[in-house]
Amino acid sequence: MTRFDVIVVGGGHAGTEAALAAARMKSKTLLITQNIETLGQMSCNPAIGGIGKSHLVKEIDALGGVMAEAADAAGIHFRVLNGRKGPAVRATRAQTDRQLYKAFVRQKLEHQENLSLFQQSVADLIIENNRVVGVITQMQQQFRADAVILTVGTFLGGIIHVGLNQQSGGRAGDAASNKLSERLRELPFQVGRLKTGTPPRIDGRSVDFGSLTEQPGDTPRPVMSFWSKASAHPEQRPCYITHTNEATHDLIRAGLERSPLYSGVIDGVGPRYCPSIEDKVVRFADKTAHQIFVEPEGLNTTELYPNGISTSLPFDVQVNLIQSIKGFENAHISRPGYAIEYDFFEPKGLKSTLETKPIQGLYFAGQINGTTGYEEAAAQGLLAGINAALQSQSRAPWSPGREQAYLGVLVDDLITLGTLEPYRMFTSRAEYRLILRQDNADRRLTETGRKLGLVDDGKWIKYLKKQDRIEKLAIEMADTVVFPGNSAIDALLEEPLGREYHLSDLLKRPGVDIQSLLSASGKSDDDAIAAEQVEIDIKYRGYIARQQQDIDRTRAQYSLNIPVDMDYACIHGLSNEVKQKLQDVKPENLGQASRISGVTPAAVSLLLVHLKRRRDLQRPAATG
Amino acid sequence: MNQNPEVSDFSTIVAEATPAGRGGIGIIRLSGPDVVVIGTALVGELPDKRVAVTRLFKNADGSVIDQGLVLYFQGPASFTGEDVLELHGHGGPVVMSILLRRCIELGARQARPGEFSERAFLNNKIDLVQAEAVADLIDSASEAAARSAVKSLQGAFSSKINELVEKLTQLRIFVEASIDFPEEEEDFLADQNVIVHLQDLIAEVASILSRAQQGVILQEGLHLVLVGAANSGKSSMMNFLSGQETSIVTEIAGTTRDVIRENIVLDGIPIRVLDTAGIRDSDDLIEREGVRRTIQSIETADAVLWLIDWSVETTQMEELKVNPSPDLIHRRLADLKQNLFEGINLEKPLIPVLNKVDLIESIELSTETGESDAVYFSTKTGQGLPQMMTILKEKLALNLHPDGLFSARRRHLSALELGSEHLQLALLRLTEESAGELMAEELKRAQDALGEITGQLRSDELLGRIFSSFCIGK
């Protein structure tokens, strides 16, 4: 029997990041997947990033992960979203070539030191004394390890629905993991069912592109990874936009009685923000058209992904509804759309490291935790991989706070509030949105990544050089003084200079940008990356300082740890409702406790008093 | 992370620490790291520690709020273990209120119930044995605060605030949707004239603030309800108490036909007195409605002043005049009480007011009835008022409390002021910088501030509102 430090079960976005992270941290890692050919597969739409999501991707990137670099290597269409709304809410999205993406991830996995791949279905976990010590495959092979990470996506008890037909499956074309699902249901986890879906795919040769609206990528083209350049992107392709119409909606309404969603066949809860087309038509009956983004699946395929019409209606209805859409009149469906129901485990049962509370050494990441999206999955995979490696190396665990990363927001939301529907990231979930930007993910996390052993020398040196450039430029802006009569500067301002000013003070003014200031004062403006950071730092300074104050103010008490064995029933003064909620979540620290819905400030105070009392009782000598 | 400023942190806190209605001195207590900065801004250079010095308490513009003693305790040698400053002013609810607001303006935060004691405990100034007491204090003070907040939120104020918060939420639905879903075809901000909506909101907060500051719609203080049989002297008691007021009398808008309300300040305690229709006065339908309201008033009151025409009682029962033993009075009151309050859930402190004693001839009644809680009273001579106030304060535990009085009204006012400030900044960010994300930040802060009154809106709740308002997502 072979021994590993860390075993990762599943080779999707969570599994690959988990395996790569653990291996980068020098843990001997095994990635077990049902099918090596589907490593890094994009099961849903062929895009990476978007609002809230590119924030996660860039955080993964800052911590040495693969997703952003894969998106750059495979990106055939790039856009900046919210480009005119200010840097904090700006986001990047890449349409990718599925094959290129998969190939890039596969190549990274195969060339990663300390990482082995193995193709098998995992049937069981080996658990001794509430601690996972390995896995057993379908062929009864045993692998032992200090930590096991489950990233099984939609495969646990997966059921695929097309109309009233249903079949077991983890994804179209792949078998579900039913043995493992049954086994996990015997463990003390709270199981729920969720639902997601995909649209039918269309053969591009049967589409009339002339009647679609072309949507080109952005120029200049953004880059997803801090470590890549736009010049390395493959050939670019446009996307297209079309719409459903009343005829489409009539067809859908007529098909509802054979819809698994509306005939009560599906119990799983779907996401409210990414509804199926039948949901959209029913819930927003007065809308006469819904937008469809027609996305290319790759450079060497004619297949298209019509994003916005995910459906589980019967296949004959799918054909009719597709052909009712402008430009799709003669469209050929190459793969039917479907809905999939799968098991997830209530994430309140997890620690902030994504280790399960009941079984030591067992980590969950990705859709198994009730999330949706490649980016959300990858981010969790990375975190689980890091902590599995840390545990195996007997090092202290690490998880970022809500003020540090979207990854922190994601995990804290999951473990504190749980989830009732597939959880997706949005910028409005982050309290410190002005600090947690996609542009500064490296400044927020790369140093930590380096300490953890995730960031290699090449990236680290690149990072240090960038910091140095930012610092120098910031000093230059603060030190450079311009005087009245400077016509180049006056041209940028509403009124001419009345006295001398530091460039950094002028930059605070609305409408004044750093590039113009630099060139007007005769300085080099060709380091756009450093200039952007300095500009944002100066323009957001007041807000960032205020958010920082909020963070500092509560940090001391919020980080106070609550023992796992805390008996909430004996805390004086807490209402039964609050006791129940605390017992339910078992928060790790006071901050997490304060964020549980229904836990009042007075309850937090009582908890604080109790914690100190408990500590004083245990260490009577320390009081004074 | 929760931005709720009520959550424990080590910022500087402030509260009025004056025992209610004790003499003419009001004490404001500050504790925390910024005490020296705030104190210096307020009274100039601080005196040496533990030396009481007279100073002027000044506004931002240099005008004088009050004059009084300043006492500075340097941490850790203080009650809380932190730097503590005490300002002993001349009291009076209005002056105290201005002084408190000035401290908040300078960066202090209004203390939560029990917070001074909590800090003392956390800084090892209170020993372990007292920990339970601290927990009790936080618990009871929070309950009192909650009761006070509910009271403050009754009626017009509550509906105004809810309306305001709903409008702000609506605006944020559009703003946040435009940020998180920029690719939707509906431009969530296009047909919503954000500037107009913001200006409306700002005007609305200003209007609520000005009315609230006048005390017109924001209610607080003790609720006393006057009950009694017909002709027991309720109306004269009402007039008498109003005549005693030391600062404010306000008619409350929406006064019902049969429940008359007055706001008065007695002994420094703001009191709302409700005069009620008599209980069991009539079988008349309209009267019965009056009775229903009376019962309702009793339910929301802090204490019930039960008026009895003692001149009638003493006439009917000579013994009460000749030999008014505590036991006899007690028995008589028990009979009357059963008669009058039968079927009414009376869990409130009940103070029997043996009224119209000035009409009882040929007898010198002692000032004390001997019967606990009951007082001889005369609205003509004013006899019994001090006794009544003492009993009230005892019954309602308004005595010296290390954490001072909790004022929901004041807290609500600061929340409104803060909310107003952020709304104005939101408008500025939008109009001067077209900075949508900064406007969104200010709107969120405004909502957090108003959330102090109505409860916080969580980000997932806001997202839920967005999803139910718009068809979103691919």
Model pLDDT for residues B25-78, shown as the tens digit of each residue: 778 899 999 999 999 999 999 999 889 899 999 888 888 888 889 999 998 899
Chain segment A382-415, per-residue pLDDT in tens: 999 999 999 999 999 999 999 999 999 999 999 9
The CATH code of the domain that includes A161 is: 3.50.50.60
How far is the alpha carbon of A269 from chain B, nearest alpha carbon, in Å?
15
In a domain, A552, yes or no: no
| Residue contact A403–B1, C-beta within 8 A | yes
Q: Count CB pairs under 8 A between chains A and B.
A: 166
- Total domains in the fold of chain A: 4
Tell how far CA A620 is from the center of its chain.
46
Residues A394 and A440 in one domain: yes
| Residue contact A606–B139, C-beta within 8 A | yes
Residues A16 and A145 in one domain: yes
Residues B28 and B78 in one domain: yes
Tell me: pLDDT of A94 over 90. Answer: yes
- Total domains in the fold of chain B: 3
Cα–Cα distance for residue pair B20/B393, rounded to 1 Å:
8
Closest-CA residue in chain A for B129?
A613
- For residues B423-449, give the mean pLDDT: 91
Chain B contacts of A494, Cβ < 8 Å? none
Residues B461 and B340 in one domain: no
In a domain, B4, yes or no: no
**Total number of residues shown for chain B:** 474
The residue type at B78:
S
How far is the alpha carbon of B205 from chain A, nearest alpha carbon, in Å?
24
Residues B254 and B289 in one domain: yes
Instruction: Considering only residues A96 and B90, tell me which one the structure prediction assigns the higher pLDDT.
Output: A96
Chain B contacts of A86, Cβ < 8 Å? 435-438
Cα–Cα distance for residue pair A121/A136, rounded to 1 Å:
9
Residues B384 and B419 in one domain: no
Residues B231 and B379 in one domain: yes
Chain B contacts of A507, Cβ < 8 Å? none
| Residue contact B7–A609, C-beta within 8 A | no
Q: Which one of A417, A428, A550 has the shortest CB-CB distance to B176?
A: A428
Handedness of CA B280, B284, B286, B289 (dihedral sign): positive
How would DSSP label each residue in B348-409? S-EEEEEE-GGG--S----SB-SSTT-EE--TTT-TTHHHHHHHHHHHTT-S--TT----HH
Residues A425 and A482 in one domain: no
The CATH code of the domain that includes B437 is: 1.20.120.430
Closest-CA residue in chain B for A575?
B139
Averaged confidence pLDDT in chain B: 77
Residues B274 and B388 in one domain: yes
Residues A53 and A122 in one domain: yes
Instruction: Output Rg (C-alpha) for chain B, integer angstroms.
Output: 26
User: Mutating which of B175, B179, B434, B444 best tests the A interface, going by the most A Cβ atoms within 10 A?
Assistant: B179
In a domain, B151, yes or no: no
How far is the alpha carbon of A598 from chain B, nearest alpha carbon, in Å?
10
Closest-CA residue in chain B for A417?
B460
Cβ distance A160 to A167 under 8 Å? yes
Cβ distance A193 to A341 under 8 Å? yes
The DSSP H or E segment spanning A224 is none
Residues A279 and A358 in one domain: no
In a domain, A457, yes or no: no
Cα–Cα distance for residue pair A93/A81, rounded to 1 Å:
7
| Residue contact B8–A605, C-beta within 8 A | yes
- For residues A72-86, give the mean pLDDT: 94
- For residues A347-372, give the mean pLDDT: 96
The reported pLDDT for the residue numbered B270 is 62
Q: Which one of A401, A426, A573 has the shortest CB-CB distance to B180?
A: A426
DSSP class of A216: P
B243 burial level (CB within 10 Å; 0-12, 13-18, 19+): exposed
Q: Which domain holds residue A567?
A: 559-622
In a domain, A121, yes or no: yes
How far is the alpha carbon of B142 from chain A, nearest alpha carbon, in Å?
7
In a domain, A551, yes or no: no
pTM to 2 decimals?
Answer: 0.82
**Total number of residues shown for chain A:** 624
Instruction: Considering only residues A20 and A525, tell me which one the structure prediction assigns the higher pLDDT.
Output: A20
Residues A490 and A606 in one domain: no
How far is the alpha carbon of B139 from chain A, nearest alpha carbon, in Å?
6
Chain segment A573-589, per-residue pLDDT in tens: 888 889 999 999 999 99
Cα–Cα distance for residue pair B445/A391, rounded to 1 Å:
40
In a domain, B337, yes or no: yes
Q: Give whole-number Cα distances, B69 to B46, B58, B104, B159, B401, in Å.
A: 11, 13, 20, 41, 20
- How many CB atoms are located within 10 Å of the residue A592 CB? 22
Cα–Cα distance for residue pair A368/A155, rounded to 1 Å:
9
How far is the alpha carbon of B1 from chain A, nearest alpha carbon, in Å?
6
Closest-CA residue in chain A for B474?
A308
| Residue contact B8–A85, C-beta within 8 A | no
The CATH code of the domain that includes B291 is: 3.40.50.300
- For residues A199-215, give the mean pLDDT: 97
Closest-CA residue in chain A for B452?
A601
In a domain, B126, yes or no: no
ipTM, interface predicted TM-score of the complex: 0.91
Q: Give whole-number Cα distances, B332 to A251, B101, B180, B312, B326, in Å.
A: 82, 50, 71, 13, 10
Q: Which domain holds residue B300?
A: 222-394
The reported pLDDT for the residue numbered B46 is 92
Closest-CA residue in chain A for B440?
A428
- For residues B241-252, give the mean pLDDT: 47
Cβ distance B406 to B148 under 8 Å? yes
Tell me: pLDDT of B251 over 50. Answer: no
Chain A contacts of B82, Cβ < 8 Å? none
| Residue contact B474–A597, C-beta within 8 A | no
Sequence-distant (≥ 6) Cβ neighbours of residue B432 within 8 angstroms: A510
Q: Which one of B10, B135, B459 has the shortest CB-CB distance to A573?
A: B135
How far is the alpha carbon of A64 from chain B, nearest alpha carbon, in Å?
26
Cβ distance A572 to B140 under 8 Å? no
DSSP bridge pairs for A136: A124, A142
Residues A141 and A161 in one domain: yes
Q: Tell me the pLDDT band of A171, cut-offs 50, 70 and 90.
A: confident
Residues A143 and A165 in one domain: yes
Q: Give whole-number Cα distances, A384 to A14, A301, A397, in Å.
A: 9, 35, 10
The CATH code of the domain that includes A588 is: 1.10.150.570
In a domain, B91, yes or no: yes
The reported pLDDT for the residue numbered B24 is 61
The reported pLDDT for the residue numbered B118 is 83
Chain B contacts of A609, Cβ < 8 Å? 118, 121-122, 131, 134-135, 138
In a domain, A88, yes or no: yes
Chain A contacts of B10, Cβ < 8 Å? 553, 556-557
Residues A57 and A184 in one domain: yes
How crowded is the C-beta side of A576, counted as CA atoms within 13 Å? 0
In a domain, B318, yes or no: yes
Chain B contacts of A283, Cβ < 8 Å? 471
Q: What is the dihedral of CA B30, B31, B33, B37, to 10 degrees?
A: 20
Residues B382 and B417 in one domain: no
Give the end of a domain, one of B362, B394, B426.
B394
- For residues A541-565, give the mean pLDDT: 86
Cα–Cα distance for residue pair A58/A224, rounded to 1 Å:
7
Give the end of a domain, one of A452, A484, A515.
A452
Residues B367 and B275 in one domain: yes
Tell me: pLDDT of A358 over 50. Answer: yes
User: Mutating which of B437, B461, B468 best tests the A interface, going by the most A Cβ atoms within 10 A?
Assistant: B437
Residues A52 and A190 in one domain: yes
How far is the alpha carbon of A406 from chain B, nearest alpha carbon, in Å?
12
Tell me: pLDDT of B316 over 70. Answer: yes
In a domain, B441, yes or no: yes
Chain segment B167-185, per-residue pLDDT in tens: 999 999 999 999 999 888 7
Residue with tokens 């990356």: A529
| Residue contact B128–A307, C-beta within 8 A | no
Chain A contacts of B438, Cβ < 8 Å? 86, 434, 543
Residues A169 and A148 in one domain: yes
- For residues A173-197, give the mean pLDDT: 90
Chain A contacts of B463, Cβ < 8 Å? 273, 426, 428-429
Cis peptide before B76 (omega within 30 of 0): yes
| Residue contact A609–B11, C-beta within 8 A | no
Instruction: Considering only residues B315 and A210, tell me which one the structure prediction assigns the higher pLDDT.
Output: A210
Chain segment B266-296, per-residue pLDDT in tens: 665 666 677 766 555 445 555 566 667 777 7
Q: Give whole-number Cα distances, A373 to A89, A177, A337, A424, A425, in Å.
A: 19, 20, 17, 7, 9
Burial letters for B119-158: b for 16+ Cβ neighbours within 10 Å, e otherwise? bbbbbebbeeeebeebbbbbbebbebbeebbebbbeebbb
Closest-CA residue in chain A for B142?
A602
The CATH code of the domain that includes B81 is: 3.30.1360.120
Chain B contacts of A427, Cβ < 8 Å? 179-180
Q: Which one of A82, A557, A600 has the shortest CB-CB distance to B179?
A: A82
Residues B300 and B164 in one domain: no
Tell me: pLDDT of B146 over 70. Answer: no
Chain segment A231-290, per-residue pLDDT in tens: 999 999 999 999 999 999 999 999 999 999 888 888 888 888 878 999 999 999 999 999
In a domain, B327, yes or no: yes
Kindly report which listed range (A582-586, B394-398, B456-460) carries the lowest average pLDDT score. B394-398
Handedness of CA B180, B183, B184, B190 (dihedral sign): positive
The CATH code of the domain that includes A307 is: 2.40.30.260
- Rounded (to 5) percent helix, strand, coil in chain B: 45, 15, 35
Residues B250 and B370 in one domain: yes
Residues B210 and B245 in one domain: no
For A183-200, what is the HEC assignment? Answer: HHHCCCCCEEEEEEEECC
In a domain, A273, yes or no: yes
Q: Which one of B1, B138, B180 has the shortest CB-CB distance to A573?
A: B138
In a domain, A462, yes or no: no
Instruction: Considering only residues A558 and A330, tell me which one the structure prediction assigns the higher pLDDT.
Output: A330
Return the structure tokens found at A466: 């960038």
How far is the alpha carbon of B170 from chain A, nearest alpha carbon, in Å?
15
How far is the alpha carbon of A108 from chain B, nearest alpha carbon, in Å?
31
The reported pLDDT for the residue numbered B92 is 65
Kindly report which listed range (A114-123, A324-333, A416-425, B327-336) carries the lowest average pLDDT score. B327-336
Closest-CA residue in chain B for A405?
B1
Residues A537 and A571 in one domain: no
How far is the alpha carbon of B121 from chain A, nearest alpha carbon, in Å?
8
Q: In angstroms, how far is the first alpha carbon of chain B from the final one?
A: 30
Residues B200 and B241 in one domain: no
In a domain, A276, yes or no: yes
Instruction: Considering only residues B247 and A80, tell me which one the structure prediction assigns the higher pLDDT.
Output: A80
The CATH code of the domain that includes A518 is: 1.10.10.1800
B257 burial level (CB within 10 Å; 0-12, 13-18, 19+): exposed
The reported pLDDT for the residue numbered B380 is 84
| Residue contact A51–B182, C-beta within 8 A | yes
